[in-house]
Amino acid sequence: MSKGIKVFLGFVLVLILIVMLNSCGGKKSEPSAPAPAPTVEKKEPAKESATPPALPPAEKAPAQPAEQKAETAPAVATGGKPKIVCDAPEFDFGERRNDEKVEHEFIIKNAGDGLLLIDKVKTTCGCTVAQPEKKDLQPGESTKIKATLSLASRQGPQTKQITVESNDPETPVLTLTIKGVATDPILIEPRTINLGTNIMEDTVGEQIVEVKSNLPGLTFNITKVDLTNLPEFKADLETVEEGKHYKIKLNQVEKIEPGTYTKSFTIETDAVLPGKDANDPSLMSLRKKNISVYGRFIGAVDVSPEVISIRANNEDPSAKTQQYLRIKEGKEKGLKILEVIPPVPEIGVDVTERAAGDYLILVKDIPMNNSVKDKELVVKTSSTTKPEIKIPFRVLDIPNFSTRPRNVTGGEMKPGPQGPKVPPQLPNIKLPPKDQLPKPPTPPQGAPQPSPAQQ
């Protein structure tokens, strides 16, 4: 294209642009200038209207009852520490007749600032106890524990204890005591006859039991001395004071086999307490009196214990236990243990001679199951009268509660108080070391690489 033509075309384009500017310029372009101002004015109200939704009054209103509920709901004290107290943990009932019952109420209080949970209330032999009126005590609250002690057939000083188990961290077991003296309208001395614990002789000496009236207006007669359970002895009755004082003389008439001797006999009377009917059931403790007789007779060889008792573990068939035996010379001197043969091969035996003729035997790895039931440990000795000693195994099949969840005081584990301020219990998950954690997969080639912060 020639230079002239190019100049011409450029001139034409300039003319076209001038015409276009004249058609839409000047007066019509003025309104377009203020156009951005309305746009700015519209945006500013938008900012003001966007602010209220962050804190709308309609949404704040329901939040207030929720806060009030969080403050009033913990009627259960969850944050503090409970403290169990009893201002009078010991009750002395003084002197009571043994045809009576002793009743007493112990007051238990929560002196701490946390919820007190009473788990168990237990008693020693001869005392019954009612469960507390309330087991969950708020700070400052109290409850009653009622105890009843029957004095029937009891004589002399009595001390019985009640244990209260709770979640008090400082006193998980609180001990309450009932004590006093039980007086028997008929006094018997002794109530237990101890023949001795190392009796070498074939017979023991005469034993005397005294029976006396312990009330001014009480008179009685001994109508019978029943020795049915004590056939090795005979009894002679002597009247010291008619209706008031008697003596019973016991004499051994038959030989007693070596070992532990525990038996009893009965004294029967016609006693009637002043003011009571002769058929009153409470008089039974006066009409029949049991006297215990205890002793240990030694033969040629003394074996203790005479039976190996184990408890079956029904939850762990592989559980094992051990027990010590003592075998020593008795009437026959110069004892030697030659061999100990267990009933099953897995049971081990260690024999130690503590002194001449005195042996300690450790029976170990005893299976805690019925595999040894009715079996015997055989001990061979140098004794001419007792060359072989057989010691039986006894298995006590008692339910085992060791796997039950328990708290620090021995009771069943109970869930703690749940309230709005108690966070949920999360499982304790132990993570492996960082260098053992699995590494993320390598991204495909060409993909953007993660930054160190993302790793």
Q: Which of 396, 418, 444 is the last residue of a domain?
A: 396
State whether 167 and 226 are in the same domain: no
Let me know whether 317 and 252 are in one domain: no
| Dihedrals phi, psi of 50, to nearest 5 degrees | -75, -25
Contact between 296 and 240 (Cβ < 8 Å)? no
Residue 163 has pLDDT above 50, yes or no: yes
- What is the C-alpha separation between 358 and 329, in angstroms, rounded? 7
Out of 106-110, 230-234, 284-288, pick the least confident.
284-288
**Distance of alpha carbon 446 from alpha carbon 188, whole angstroms:** 105
Indicate the pLDDT class of residue 47, thresholds 50, 70 and 90: very low
Beta carbons of 391 and 379 less than 8 angstroms apart: yes
What pLDDT, on the 0 to 100 scale, is given for residue 401?
44
The percentage of residues in the chain with a pLDDT greater than 90, rounded to a whole number, is 50
pLDDT band at 300 (very low <50, low <70, confident <90, very high): very high
Pairing of strands 142-150, 101-110: antiparallel
Per-residue pLDDT reduced to its tens digit, 413-451: 444 444 434 444 434 444 444 444 444 444 444 444 444
Whether 334 and 284 map to the same domain: the answer is: no
233 token code pair: 């002895």
Which pair of structure tokens corresponds to residue 36?
A: 């951005």
Residue 5, classified by CB atoms within 10 Å of its CB into exposed (0-12), middle (13-18) or buried (19+), is exposed
Please check whether residue 328 lies inside any domain of the structure.
yes
154, 183, 212: which is the final residue of a domain? 183
In a domain, residue 412? The reply is: no
Co-location of 332 and 281 in the same domain: no
Domain presence at residue 99? yes
Same domain, 286 and 315: no
- Locate 111 and state its tokens: 């002196």
The answer to whether residue 387 is domain-embedded is yes
When pLDDT is averaged across residues 295-305 and rounded to a whole number, the result is 93
pLDDT, residue 425, reads 42
Do residue 121 and residue 218 come from a single domain? Answer: no
Look at residues 141, 136, 130, 112 and name the one whose alpha carbon lies nearest to residue 176: 130
Does the residue 200 lie in any domain? Answer: yes
| Domain shared by 289 and 370, yes or no | no
CATH number at residue 168: 2.60.40.10
Q: Give the mean model confidence (pLDDT) for residues 110-135.
A: 87
- For the four alpha carbons of 27, 32, 37 and 39, in that order, the dihedral sign comes to positive
Do 206 and 132 fall into the same domain?
no
pLDDT at 27 over 80: no
Do 237 and 141 lie in one domain? The reply is no
**Considering the domain boundaries, does residue 447 fall inside one?**
no
Of the candidates 144, 81, 133, which has an alpha carbon nearest to the alpha carbon of residue 108? 144
CA 276 to CA 286: how far, in whole Å? Answer: 12
Q: Give the span between the Cα atoms of 135 and 125, in whole angstroms.
A: 23
Does residue 292 share a domain with residue 207?
yes
pLDDT digits (tens, 9 = 90+) for 190-229: 989 999 988 988 899 999 999 999 888 889 999 999 999 9
Where does 356-440 show beta strands of DSSP type E?
358-367, 376-381, 388-396
Q: Are residues 355 and 318 in the same domain?
A: yes
pLDDT tens-place string over residues 225-263: 999 999 999 999 999 999 999 999 999 999 999 989 999
Task: Report pTM.
Answer: 0.55
| CA gap 160, 166 in Å, rounded | 20
Residue 441 lies in a domain: no
What is the number of domains present in the chain?
3
Parent domain of 330 = 301-396
DSSP string, 418-447: --TTSPPPPP-PPPPPGGGSPPPPPPPTTS
Q: Read off the pLDDT band of 393 (50, 70, 90).
A: very high
Beta strands in 84-243 (DSSP E): 84-85, 90-97, 101-110, 116-123, 127-129, 136-137, 142-150, 156-166, 173-183, 186-189, 192-194, 207-213, 222-226, 233-241
Of the three residues 142, 166, 183, the one that is the final residue of a domain is 183
Asked if 190 and 293 sit in the same domain, the reply is: yes
Q: Which residues contact 184 (CB under 8 A, 6 or more apart)?
A: 97, 98, 154, 155, 214
Question: What average pLDDT does the chain have?
Answer: 78
